[in-house]
Amino acid sequence: MARYIFITGGVVSSLGKGLASAALGAALQARGYKVRLRKLDPYLNVDPGTMSPYQHGECYVTDDGAETDLDLGHYERFTGRPANKQDNITTGRIYQEIIAKERRGDYLGGTVQVIPHVTDAIKNFVLEGNEDYDFVLCEIGGTVGDIEGLPFFEAIRQLGNELPRGQAVYIHLTLLPYIPSAGEMKTKPTQHSVKELRSIGIQPDILLVRCDRKIPETERRKLSLFCNVREQAVIPAYDARSIYEVPLAYHAEGLDTQVLEAFGITGAPAADLSRWVKINEILQNPEGEVTIAVVGKYTVLKDAYKSLIEALVHGGIANKVKVNLEWIESEVFEKEDPAPYLENVNGILVPGGFGERGSEGKIAAAKYARENKIPYFGICFGMQMAVVEAARNMAGIKDASSTEFGPTDVPVVGLMTEWEKEGGNKETRRADGDLGGTMRLGAYNAVLAQGSRIADIYGSTEISERHRHRYEVNIGFRKQLEDAGLQFAGTSPDGVLPETVEIADHPWFIGVQYHPELKSRPFEPHPLFASFIAAARDYSRLV
């Protein structure tokens, strides 16, 4: 029977509950246990699909097409277990399902209430489908005391009573601030946070304390005393040089040991963290470095590109080099010459995005990379803008554009209104339809041309990658573009939807319609990112 670990947060948000959950999952996995991680988000959106990256960071997409919280990316990268739509729930989705049931009359005329109907729905979500796992880690978004989070805290409180004794453990992540003027760390924020949690009826078994320096023994004893937690279960969570150091750091501080003790588990296998040791050795002792320019639209908030950043790091691990990132807002290139910004970089990456803002700047970046033979990687929107650039400047289609930017006589990129899903089922969309959940989402197969660069990189002509887009490169322009030198190297199995493009006489120029960053892992870097960083390394040696 699965055991449940509930991870809550206090004092402030953004302390790293998702990373802590993922790292603990990795540490338990290193002991031979099977783990599953789930995220419970209290906001009213059904999913983060319609939320601005500035609001919520990256929208992470699973194989089965769920638009989820970015923490699921951490879960996948640290454990290697693919997440699915059953691993992320929001208040919005819960209420959507409950109201649909009420309209159908499923509640037999009863009054629908937060308790028991909402809390029961949360509990059902937490408990469903865990038969094959030893531990299920459930992260509750937000902080204790948030009004929208109260049903979730009530639900996990109830589960603590309803599960067999010893089957639930509560971990509370808090901040232990250092006050320079006082010259000491302050435990009071954590005390108040735990007091709030206990007022709900939840007593934490383990305190995970974020801090930037060693915790004095006096402060550790104080936390133990006032928070009613054993002293050895007060675990410091220090700032790390890399997020991939965290599983090692938590294990060294005894977090996974304390979790097992809280469950009463004895004789657990020793942790084999050798792969994390190897990853950190490479990160801390690189054999060189490269600089990649990321020309994007949301560069103010790096969490908007979380998976992309990590995939580039993974590419560096594969090549034993440090990857430095130069963040450039694409709108800059609509007013200024790209050369001063790009002439000293070793590679240019244009990531996904939505809308017309900054699009001409991304086109300028693709043009600069093409003309100056700098390795170029275009992802989703970055591929589309590379195609528009090639249409204008290689094929002579001067007015080439995308219907995403408004009506155009030359729709090299257009709204996708119908496509085929796996199994032969058709999906259709309207331009005036809902935005949420209506893109081409999740894993789709693609066929790569034999002998193409991208097929050589994958070592296969058949791949499956995750998508998240509403517009598509128009296959009708294929001949004109290929005659000009832009090869459509990959398409959907039916040959209708372009999936990848490349330029054969360029050192490394590849665009992909999908998001390969979503399937990259530190211990299994995605081949495209490994190849791109290798090309950037080789380019750095030439200049």
Catalytic residue among 219, 360, 380, 404: 380
Give dist(CA 56, CA 438) in Å, integer. 19
Nearest to 149 by CA among 138, 158, 157, 140: 140
Give dist(CA 285, CA 294) in Å, integer. 24
Q: How far is CA 34 from CA 25, 29, 30, 31, 490, in A?
A: 9, 6, 9, 9, 36
Give dist(CA 311, CA 321) in Å, integer. 13
Q: Are strands 411-415 and 471-473 parallel, antiparallel or unpaired?
A: antiparallel
Nearest to 121 by CA among 139, 142, 98, 137: 98
Count Cα atoms within 13 angstroms, Cβ side, for 179.
8
Q: Give the largest Cα separation in the chain, rounded.
A: 75
Verify whether residue 289 is a known catalytic residue. no
Catalytic residue among 139, 219, 517, 526: 517
Structure tokens at 501: 């493009």
Contact between residue 42 and residue 142 where contact means Cβ atoms under 8 Å apart: yes
Amino acid at site 421: K
Phi, psi of 31 (to 5 degrees): -90, 0
CA 313 to chain centroid, in Å, comes to 14
**Tally of residues, the chain:** 543
Catalytic residue among 117, 314, 467, 515: 515
- 424 dihedral zone (left: phi>0; alpha: psi -120 to 50; beta): left
Name residues whose C-beta falls within 8 Å of residue 429's C-beta, 6 or more positions apart in sequence: 415, 416, 417, 418, 438, 470
Verify whether residue 469 is a known catalytic residue. no
Verify whether residue 517 is a known catalytic residue. yes
The residues that are catalytic are: 380, 515, 517
